[in-house]
Amino acid sequence: MADLTALTAAQLVAGYGAGDFTPLEVTRAALERAAAAQERTGAFVRIDEEDALRRADASAGRWRRGEPAGPVDGVPVTVKDILLQRGGPSFKGSWTVDEAGPWDEDSPSVARLRESGAVFLGKTTTPEFGWKGVTDSPRHGTTGNPHAPGRTAGGSSGGSAAAVALGAGPLSLGTDGGGSVRIPAAFSGIYALKPTYGRVPLYPASAFGTLAHVGPMTRDARDAALLLDVISGPDARDWSQLAPVADSFRAALAAGTEGVRGLRIGFSPDLGGRVAVDGQVAAAVRAAVALLEELGAHVEEVDPGFDDPVESFHVLWFSGAARVTQSLRPEQRERLDPGLREVCEQGAAYSALDYLAAVDDRMALGRRMGALHERYDLLATPTMPITAFEAGAEVPAGSAHTRWTGWTPFTYPFNLTQQPAASVPCGVDGDGLPVGLQLVGPRHADARVLAASHALFEAGVANRVPSPVS
C-alpha cells in the first residue's frame, strides 16, 4: 500500500470511494506523522487521538454505506489554535487565556468541516494572538521549520504549515492578517491561499478587523480548492461574509495547464526596486514565472507603483493588538510576549484620526491595485524576499528592522487591499530551504488565482521542492 500520508485530500476521498483504504487506516497513519511532526518541530498545541479515531470510525461507516457526509469526509485536518473548535480550549499561544472555557462553539470554517465529516487531528501552534510572522509563543514555545528545525516555520500559521509539510493531514485551516498563511507556506514548501476578504466567514470577529482572513493550507491547489468549497459555506455569525459563488472552486481547475493560457500577468520581482530580494529566491521565482509564460500566459515586468504602506499597516495592526489585550490585568500583561507588549503600547497611543488616516491610505492602495488589475489578470511576486532564518527570532540576524513587517513587504499590502493571494512552492535555496511564488488576483478572483496555481502544479513546479519527510 502507498504511503497514505503522502496522498492529497482529493486522492484520499477517491480511495475511500473505491474501497482502497479506510478513514481509520489513514487517520492512524496521520496520527503517527503528527506525533513525529510534534517531536521534530513543535507544530501542535495538542493532538486528540481519541476524538480523531472516533470520527474516523464514524466516517468509515458512512463510506461503507455509500453515504459520505461531504467532500472531505474522513480526511485528516488540523486547525490553527486561533480558531474555535468545540470540546477543547483555543489558547491562542497565550497564558492569559483561561483553559476552563467554556469551549462549546466552532468557528464557521471548523463547523463546515465538522458537517462535512472531516477528522480533526489537533490544534496547531501560533504566536500569541497571531501577532507576528514567526511562530513562537510564551505558552507553547517555538515551532521549527519542517526542512530544518533550527530555522523558523514562519507565521503566524507556522504549526499548520509544518503539520501539512510533514504529512500530519493534507489539510489545515490557517488565518492571515499580514501574510500568516503565505509566509509559513513559502518557508515550509507548501501551498496556501488567502482568499478575498469575506469569502470564508470568520467568528469571533478578529480584533485586527478586516485585515484578517481564514485560508486553506495544503499540499497543492486542488486540495485548496476542495477545502475552500467546504469552508466558504455561509454562516450568519459573520455580517461581512460574501455571497456564495455560483460554481465550485474545484470546477475552476478543469483546464489544467491550459488554465493560464492567455492570462495577462504582471511580474514584479522587487516592487519596482523597493525590496532587496535574495539572489537564489529571485532566481527560483523568475523560473516559475517563466514556466507560466511557457504555459501560454503573457508576462510583463511591472512596477505596481505604490510606496511601502507599512506605517499605515502598523496603525491598523498594532491598534488591533492593543484592543485584543485591552482588558488584561497588569499581572496578565506581564506574561505577554515582550514584543507583543511593545506593539500593544504603541497601538494604544494611536488616535482615532491616526486610524482614519491609515484607512484613507488603505483605500488609496486598493484603488491603485484595482487600476493595475484592469491591465493584468494576476500580479506575480516572490512571497518572501528571503528563506527561513533562525527559529525563535522575530527578525533575521543582522536585520536593520525590529518588527516582522521589515522582512514581509510582499504580503501585508494585500491584506490592506483584501485581495486573494497564494503562495506556490517553486524551488529551494542552496541550503534546501523552500522558496514561494506569490500570485495575487483582483478582489473576488479567487478561482483565477487557484486555476493559475493549479496549472503550475500540473506543470511540475512543486517538484522543485523535495519533501522534508525522510
Determine, yes or no, domain membership for 88.
yes
Residue pair 133/154 in contact (Cβ under 8 Å)? The answer is yes
Burial-class residue 279 by CB neighbours within 10 Å (0-12, 13-18, 19+).
exposed
Pairing of strands 434-440, 171-176: unpaired
Determine, yes or no, domain membership for 360.
yes
Determine, yes or no, domain membership for 1.
no
pLDDT of res. 200: 98
Q: For residue 126, what are the CA distances in angstroms to 9, 52, 91? A: 24, 21, 9
pTM beyond 0.85: the answer is: yes
How do residues 73-130 score in pLDDT, each as one tens digit?
999 999 999 999 999 999 999 999 999 989 999 999 999 999 999 999 999 999 999 9
For the chain, the three-class secondary structure string (H helix, E strand, C coil) is: CCCHHHCCHHHHHHHHHHCCCCHHHHHHHHHHHHHHHHHHHCCEEEECHHHHHHHHHHHHHHHHCCCCCCCCCCCEEEEECCCCCCCCCCCCCCCCCCCCCCCCCCCHHHHHHHHCCCEEEEEECCCHHHCCCCCEECCCEECECCCCCCEECCCCCHHHHHHHHCCCCCEEEEEECCCCCHHHHHHHCCEEEECCCCCCCCCCCCCCHHHCEEEEEECCHHHHHHHHHHHCCCCCCCCCCCCCCCCCCHHHHCCHHHHHCCCEEEECCCCCCCCCCCHHHHHHHHHHHHHHHHCCCEEEECCCCCCCCHHHHHHHHHHHHHHHCCCCCHHHHCCCCHHHHHHHHHHHCCCHHHHHHHHHHHHHHHHHHHHHHHHCCEEEEECCCCCCCECCCCCCCCCCCCCHHHHCCCCCHHHHCCCCEEEEEEEECCCCCEEEEEEECCCCCHHHHHHHHHHHHHCCHHHHCCCCCC
- Mean pLDDT per block of 10 residues along the chain (470 residues) reads 91 98 98 98 98 98 98 99 97 97 96 98 98 98 98 98 98 98 98 98 96 98 98 97 95 97 98 98 98 98 98 98 96 98 98 98 98 98 98 97 97 98 98 98 98 98 91
- Domain harbouring 86, CATH code: 3.90.1300.10
Number of domains in the chain: 1
pLDDT of res. 1: 57
Determine, yes or no, domain membership for 11.
yes
**Rounded to whole angstroms, how far apart are CA atoms 421 and 443?**
10
Residue of 459, 429, 454, 458 whose CA lies nearest to 439 = 454
User: Looking at the annotation, which residues are catalytic?
Assistant: 80, 156, 180
The range of the structural domain enclosing residue 186 comes to: 7-464
Determine, yes or no, domain membership for 247.
yes
Determine, yes or no, domain membership for 48.
yes
Determine, yes or no, domain membership for 202.
yes
Please give the grid coordinates belonging to residue 127: 504566536
pLDDT of res. 470: 65
Determine, yes or no, domain membership for 197.
yes
Residue 144 phi, psi (nearest 5)? -90, 165
Pairing of strands 264-267, 378-382: parallel
Q: For residue 3, what are the CA distances in angstroms to 29, 57, 102, 172, 323? A: 9, 20, 39, 19, 46
